[in-house]
């Protein structure tokens, strides 16, 4: 079936539709990762976005349940240069086309993803409509212009869990893929409240691999409820949308600072910044992919990182003398990490759990475990 991608500025790109039939309006973005399309599709941070993958062929390894980072695709739509209709992996359980159709997610192949990427890099993030049901181009452009955009909507409320639970790698909630490795997992040394703003499953696996038992809480949980669970620390997860919108998370984190050790990733980094008095702003086209260079300002070490965010922390808004910027992006100088001076709370803008992406930054989970050890030792 024929399909189109309409930009709010009137640009039309043509392609062939796959997956679900219909139309959807969302923010257009691109991801430069060469692998891991299933993890990208199921990352809750992509809620409200149509994602273009710059890797020229997608679908060649099919879909399997072990590689999902949530229980369904979270993207509003998928754009690819070429769709592979046959998977070539022994782990495949269904094709990408069937998977998207089953979950009612639209796809478009044959799109000039290079043109799209250059356009977004030049002009910035744009609103768009993906349609593969015969919609006229002028109607699609109008619908793109009428879409409200990501700002102002609480996407965290759409992806967070509905009640708290203790994560089990073999359980039905946020299932893991540890399998027989579960028997070799280290003994649990700490219980940590993991605030689910749109959490990826691999974060929970990485915490557990460091001897940390995650107790998952909804994003709207109160500080009182979290402290009542007698946890040793707080983890703030990744998630979608404008970080200034879920003010209930800001307030909850503000009440937890100084009471328990805190570690935040991506949106969790931005939530910590807001709780400490900082502000965030929208990036021109965001950082999405597995090749972002980040420098640790304390050691000078550079890591290649996995990232997925469209907003950044304004370092000038952080309280002087209280909060320290620890990491910066070497491409554009944006804030990629911060910590509360004196210890007790730290965060990074990128994804040390990868899935997909390089594992350069995986040491942060160990660093969090060591902070919990030191805090418990002090009593």
Question: Other CB atoms closer than 10 Å to residue 166's CB: what's the count?
Answer: 12
- Per the CB < 8 A criterion, the answer to whether 376 and 232 are in contact is yes
Residue 287 appears among annotated catalytic residues: no
Question: Other CB atoms closer than 10 Å to residue 220's CB: what's the count?
Answer: 16
Question: Which of 225, 211, 280, 214 shows the shortest CA–CA distance to 256?
Answer: 225
Cα 368 to its chain centre, rounded Å, is 20
Give the whole-angstrom CA distance, residue 229 versus residue 214: 12
Residue 198 marked as a ligand binder? no
Q: DSSP of 126-143, one letter per residue?
A: EEEEEE-S---HHHHHHH
Residue 311 marked as a ligand binder? yes
Question: Exposure of 86 by Cβ count < 10 A (0-12 exposed, 13-18 middle, 19+ buried)?
Answer: exposed
* Phi, psi dihedrals of residue 92, rounded to the nearest 5°: -65, 135
Give the whole-angstrom CA distance, residue 129 versus residue 12: 10
Q: In what order do the strands lie in the sheet with 345-348?
A: 165-166, 212-218, 190-196, 233-236, 262-265, 345-348, 335-340, 323-329, 279-296, 302-314
Residue 213 marked as a ligand binder? no
As a residue count, the chain comes to 379
Residue 33 marked as a ligand binder? no
Question: Which of 236, 200, 242 shows the shortest CA–CA distance to 221?
Answer: 236
Residue 267 marked as a ligand binder? yes
What's 94's DSSP letter? B
Residue 20 appears among annotated catalytic residues: no
Instruction: List the beta bridge partners of residue 79.
Output: 52, 108
Residue 371 marked as a ligand binder? no
Residue 308 marked as a ligand binder? yes
- Cα dihedral across residues 168, 170, 175, 177: positive or negative: positive
- Name the active-site residue from 266, 287, 327, 336: 266
Residue 2 appears among annotated catalytic residues: no
- Per the CB < 8 A criterion, the answer to whether 265 and 244 are in contact is no
Residue 286 marked as a ligand binder? no
Annotated binding site for L-glutamine: 45, 239, 241, 267, 270, 308, 310-311
Active site amino acids:
266, 351, 353
């Amino acid at each position: 079936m024929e399909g189109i991608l309409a930009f709010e500025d009137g640009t039309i790109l043509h392609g062939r539709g796959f997956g679900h039939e219909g139309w959807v309006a969302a923010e257009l973005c691109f991801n430069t990762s060469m692998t891991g399309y299933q993890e990208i599709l199921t990352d809750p941070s992509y809620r409200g976005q149509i994602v273009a993958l710059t890797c020229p062929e997608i679908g060649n390894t099919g879909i399997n349940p072990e590689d999902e980072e949530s229980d369904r695709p979270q993207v509003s739509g998928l754009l690819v240069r070429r769709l592979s209709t046959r998977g070539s992996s022994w782990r495949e359980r269904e094709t990408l086309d069937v998977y998207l159709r089953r979950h009612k997610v639209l796809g478009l192949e044959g799109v000039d993803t290079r043109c799209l990427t250059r356009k977004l890099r030049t002009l910035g993030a744009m609103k768009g409509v993906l349609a593969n049901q015969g919609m006229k181009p002028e109607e699609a452009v109008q619908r793109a212009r009428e879409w409200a955009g990501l700002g102002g909507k609480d996407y965290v409320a759409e992806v967070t869990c509905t009640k708290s639970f203790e994560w089990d790698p073999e359980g039905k909630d946020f299932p893991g893929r540890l399998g027989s490795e579960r028997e070799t997992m280290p003994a649990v040394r700490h219980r940590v409240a993991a605030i689910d703003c749109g959490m990826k499953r691999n974060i929970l696996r990485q915490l557990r691999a460091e001897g940390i038992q995650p107790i998952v809480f909804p994003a709207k949980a109160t500080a009182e409820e979290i402290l009542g669970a007698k946890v040793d620390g707080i983890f703030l997860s990744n998630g979608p949308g404008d970080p200034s919108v879920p003010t209930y998370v800001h307030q909850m984190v503000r009440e937890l600072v100084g009471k328990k050790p805190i570690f935040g990733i991506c949106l969790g980094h931005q939530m910590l910044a807001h709780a400490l008095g900082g502000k965030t702003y929208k990036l021109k086209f965001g950082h999405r992919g597995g090749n972002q260079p980040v420098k640790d300002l304390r050691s000078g070490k550079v890591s290649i990182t996995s990232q997925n965010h469209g907003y950044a922390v304004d370092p000038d808004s952080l309280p002087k003398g209280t909060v320290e910027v620890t990491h910066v992006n070497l491409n554009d100088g944006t804030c990629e990490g911060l910590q509360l001076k004196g210890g007790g709370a730290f965060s990074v803008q990128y994804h040390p759990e990868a899935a997909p992406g390089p594992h350069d930054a995986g040491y942060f989970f160990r660093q969090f475990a060591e902070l919990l050890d030191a805090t418990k030792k002090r009593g």
